[in-house]
Structure 1
């Protein structure tokens, strides 16, 4: 493990001095094993998909369908498939029995009742499917950015995710929202139609609202809670510099 952490630290110093595209090339070339990119079709993931498209033969793409998505999310999913036909987006779903059990014990919308119940729902609909998606994966590529929230400011380009036993690669780490929007306009990258209505971070429909001007990027997620606004996909990672 110490050797892995040392390698990641060395590469983080190197990645800090190169462009996003060059950083991706370095990681794809220098790290062996299966590489997968997760997408929820938010603006970050859309830009990342565009940048990674020339490497579609080297990277597998997947998404988690929780069963509670906005229709607009499915619409941008379709547009993304049309624009990037060389990518086969694999979809992972929650286990039916897990969902049934949750609805029986907590209620179909039990996540509004307590943080414990909300985290339980996220675990069933997101975390368990993610664990399945990442089996056998060496590098997990994400669209996480440091600007998104206070608890993401300490992230590194490359981190060891001890929960999933995988190296997490965050190539967009230092990009700003303005830079993302410029790339979207320049390359006509499809984005969720809810984005321009104030939904800067889009998750499940019952758990996402638009944000007001000046609010934190993720303030619209689980707005009824005072929490770090994480669902367990990224918030529980064991980060090592």
Structure 2
């Protein structure tokens, strides 16, 4: 990461610190016109952000990744969101040839057999489509909250994403689950009904279960794997295990 980019990220961190989620989104949308995208998977956090964007008519491009293995409840929430806000949500799906090759060679459930197989499936269904969705963008808005996992507590509300070559901004980073739930209830935001069944982090149906009382927030994702492996590659947290690359580049 060069010093110019590091300085830009550091400036955004300072300028956005202490601001509300709406103020953060409005500020980056104004500063990077036409180059701000938000990825939604229709979970609680993403629905809160969609409401802020759509209800305030902010110039942010909203897209989703349709992996082909989502819960029906997720598709229902997606449709309710379209009906409520009457705003477009772009769709990015896996490349047909890559998916056909994977399923032909390893079957539809190879992700249960090894972490390598699971990451291969995630790459085809999520990581590669995301790269296409973010191409040419400068800001990627996400629904990440620090409370969601131990790894994510090491993140920053504003980060440089080296893999995609853009700045990643988490407007809800300091929000709690209760904050987010209260917001959606107050504003009548469509919410995935799976949340009422103990699902807090919702991904593909074969890879997500409800969590039990006392379990970690992401315990329901890829529950057959060790806790330290529970990222799909969309939000790579490896850089957050050590020194902050922004601080290092400036220094």
- In the superposition, the TM-score normalised over structure 2's length comes to 0.91
Alignment CA distance shift 1:75-1:237 (3 Å)? farther
Secondary structure (helix, strand or coil) at the match of 2:90 reads: strand
Q: Judge conservation of contact 1:208–1:222 (CA < 8 Å) in 2.
A: yes
Query: 1:217, CA displacement in angstroms?
Result: 0.9
What's the counterpart of residue 216 of structure 1?
216
Q: What is the CA-CA distance between 1:16 and the residue it aligns to?
A: 2.2
Corresponding residue of 1:30: 31
Task: Tell me if the contact between 2:55 and 2:85 (Cα under 8 Å) persists in the aligned partners.
Answer: no
Do 1:161 and 1:237's aligned partners in 2 also have CA atoms closer than 8 Å?
no
1:151 aligned residue: 151
Change (3 A) 1:237 1:62: farther
Deviations 1:126-166 (A, max 9, x none): 00100111111111111111110010012112211111111
Structure 2 gap segments, 5+ residues each: 247-251
Partner of 1:66: 67
Superposed CA deviations along residues 179-230 of structure 1, whole A, max 9, x for unmatched, are 0011111011111111110010000000000000111111000000003311
**Counterpart residue number, 1:95:** 95
Query: Corresponding residue for 1:204?
Result: 204
Is the 2:152–2:237 contact (alpha carbons within 8 Å) kept by the matching residues of 1?
no
In the TM superposition, 1:29-48 aligns within 5 A as: 29-48=30-49
Structure 1 residues 237 and 55 mapped into 2: Cα distance closer, same or farther (>3 Å)?
farther
* Range moving further from structure 2, 10-19 or 197-206: 10-19
Kindly state the Cα deviation for residue 30 of structure 1 after the two structures are TM-superposed.
Answer: 2.5
Quote the Cα distance in structure 2 between the aligned partners of 1:209 and 1:119. Answer: 18
Number of aligned residues: 240
Structure 1 match to 2:114: 114
Q: How far apart are the structure 2 equivalents of 1:215 and 1:6?
A: 39
Q: Which residue of 1 aligns with 2:11?
A: 10
1:8 Cα deviation after fit: 1.2
TM-score, normalised on structure 1?
0.95
Distance 1:55 1:35 in 2: 15
Partner of 1:229: 230
User: Can you list the C-alpha shifts for 1:96-135, whole angstroms capped at 9, x where unaligned?
Assistant: 1111111123221000000000000000000010011111
- Structure number with the higher helix fraction is 2
**Aligned ranges for residues 151-170 of structure 1 at < 5 Å?**
151-170=151-170
